């Protein structure tokens, strides 16, 4: 794994175990929301972004509408008299976004998201947008696939990419009901190219620990998807017809608690395979 990262700009890191509560890079810090589940791993990672010494801070993915978590995020963001300049959403799924309105109320900050329905305020998040806030530059990379409205957020100064649910800290991501596998494969290939150009040395996911080998991780995701597609083709050839039958056949190695989500992935794979 380390071979891929050797030439990349991996920032200095400190804090407890990677990717969980309290993990920080020079400009990003993680606060873990208390919503663990088979789908959310340890819970949702809320990220605070700021240039050291900046009088303001950006919050990415407030997480669920959990008053304790949101008050903790607010307190951490406001430490030293800072104000929250913006709240950004990697996508509109509720485990990332449900707390946005309450955090906006606590902080007075606008909420920016790719999906107009998830915004509070006039500004969205579109591919190529460069957000300058909290002394940092954040570049928006459209990442449709897990959901139609997913974006990744590049923090060039740290060589870090906030991936939302496009890449998870452990295991692999699913294609949600509002996602698309063809889009997802194109997104993964684009992110792999970004990682290959050494713009990214660290992935900061929406769930689970951080990943220090972006190129290797993205290669793994792409090969995993290719493998799953082959398995779906084989399962069909062996007589499986419905998504549930296919899941039971090919996800035997996966916690049954995530089978319903896997079924969405299989539906996405069938759609992809049956596209003209």
How many CA atoms are closer than 13 Å to the CA of 131, on its beta-carbon side? 28
- Which residue, 69 or 93, is less far from Zn ion as judged by CB? 93
Q: How far is the CB of 95 from Zn ion (least distance, A)?
A: 7
- Which residue, 149 or 158, is less far from Zn ion as judged by CB? 149
- Which residue, 103 or 168, is less far from Zn ion as judged by CB? 168
Q: How far is the CB of 6 from Zn ion (least distance, A)?
A: 31
Q: How far is the CB of 57 from Zn ion (least distance, A)?
A: 23
Gap between the Cα atoms of 230 and 216, Å rounded = 21
Q: How far is the CB of 91 from Zn ion (least distance, A)?
A: 5
Gap between the Cα atoms of 63 and 52, Å rounded = 24
Q: How far is the CB of 136 from Zn ion (least distance, A)?
A: 24
- Which residue, 93 or 225, is less far from Zn ion as judged by CB? 93
Longest dimension (CA), the chain: 63
Q: How far is the CB of 90 from Zn ion (least distance, A)?
A: 8
Gap between the Cα atoms of 207 and 172, Å rounded = 11
28's tokens: 């990003």
- Which residue, 85 or 89, is less far from Zn ion as judged by CB? 89
Chain residues in the site for Zn ion (CB under 5 A): 93, 165
Burial of 46 (0-12, 13-18, 19+ CB in 10 A): buried
Q: How far is the CB of 177 from Zn ion (least distance, A)?
A: 10
- Which residue, 39 or 249, is less far from Zn ion as judged by CB? 39
- Which residue, 4 or 93, is less far from Zn ion as judged by CB? 93
């Amino acid at each position: 794994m380390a071979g891929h990262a050797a030439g990349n700009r991996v920032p200095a890191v400190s804090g407890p175990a990677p990717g969980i509560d309290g993990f920080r890079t020079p400009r990003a810090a993680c606060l873990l929301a208390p919503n663990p589940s088979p789908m959310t791993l340890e819970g949702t990672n809320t990220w605070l972004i700021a240039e050291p010494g900046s009088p303001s801070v950006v919050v990415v993915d407030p997480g669920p509408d959990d008053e304790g978590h949101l008050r903790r995020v607010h307190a951490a963001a406001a430490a030293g008299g800072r104000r929250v300049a913006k709240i950004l959403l990697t996508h509109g799924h509720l485990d990332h976004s449900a707390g946005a309105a309450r955090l906006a109320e606590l902080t007075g900050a606008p909420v920016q998201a790719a999906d107009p329905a998830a915004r509070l305020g006039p500004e969205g998040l579109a591919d190529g947008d460069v957000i300058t806030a909290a002394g940092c530059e954040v570049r928006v990379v459209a990442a449709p696939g897990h959901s139609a409205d997913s974006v990744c957020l590049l923090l060039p100064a740290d060589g870090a990419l906030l991936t939302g649910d496009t890449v998870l800290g452990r295991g692999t991501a699913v294609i949600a009901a509002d996602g698309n596998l063809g889009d997802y494969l194109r997104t993964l290939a684009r992110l792999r190219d970004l990682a290959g150009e050494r713009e990214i040395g660290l992935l900061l996911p929406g769930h689970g620990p951080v990943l220090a080998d972006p190129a290797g991780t993205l290669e793994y995701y792409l090969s995993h998807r290719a493998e799953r597609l082959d398995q779906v083709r084989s399962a069909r050839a062996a007589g499986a017809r419905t998504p549930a039958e296919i899941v039971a056949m090919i996800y035997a190695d996966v916690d049954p608690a995530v089978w319903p989500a896997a079924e969405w992935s299989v539906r996405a794979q069938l759609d992809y395979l049956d596209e003209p």
